[in-house]
Amino acid sequence: MRGVHFLVAFVFLALAASFAFASDPSPLQDFCVAINDIKDGVFVNGKFCKDPKLATAKDFFFSGLDIARNTSNPLGSVVTPANVAQIPGLNTLGISLARVDYAPYGGLNPPHTHPRATEILTVLEGTLYVGFVTSNPDNRLITKVLNPGDVFVFPVGLIHFQFNVGKAKAVAIAALSSQNPGVITIANAVFGSTPPIRSDVLAKAFQVDKNIVDHLQKQFWYDNN
């Protein structure tokens, strides 16, 4: 009987430990405003933090998500981030925003991932075709057409996209579960890396002729972030 109790206790502790390490640790102070000057700073979660007594409202403020951006680029979209790079007070708080503008029919936020964040997207204007692809081995495509007021979630790390299928411009606001979610745009990473990935590697991976890979690697891969 004692063996059974020990086993139950062990399983309980193992589950508790797994939940404890399932997310970022909670901050141990009210905030940790990021600074670039390392003098008198404390390094926390990728950034140096200023003395909390020196924090001001400016550290927690950003203006500009109401401004429409110019989408005259090869993708027809522009992302305006509001993360720790723009709002130093977000450091360690695990949240950020972004505005995305899409050109009329065809504006695309191309397939990409956020390695450190789940994203929840709210459409303010226009009509977007959005989706994400599940992980191996299923690689299942899950899509939805969104209209103003609609909300869609892209799970952390999964490849996802948004495409304007309407005749007018579209605007969306994305909330992300990290102060620094990161972005990996698939085409840019695979065909536009520095230095380039060997073309024979990509030719075998994509099962295409090497000349096709050579052509793709010579293209200019636009970054809308």
125 labelled binding-site residue:
no
DSSP for residue 134: P
Cis ω before 52 (30° cut-off from 0): no
Q: How far apart are CA 32 and CA 38, in angstroms?
A: 14
Two tokens, residue 202: 């990509």
109 labelled binding-site residue:
yes
The residues near 52 (Cβ < 8 Å, ≥ 6 apart) are 29, 30, 31, 32, 33
114 labelled binding-site residue:
yes
The residues near 7 (Cβ < 8 Å, ≥ 6 apart) are none
* Burial of 148 (C-beta count, 10 Å sphere; 0-12/13-18/19+): middle
215 labelled binding-site residue:
no
- The annotation places the binding site at 109, 112, 114, 119, 160
- The annotation places the binding site for oxalate at 109, 114, 119
- The annotation places the binding site for Mn(2+) at 112, 114, 119, 160
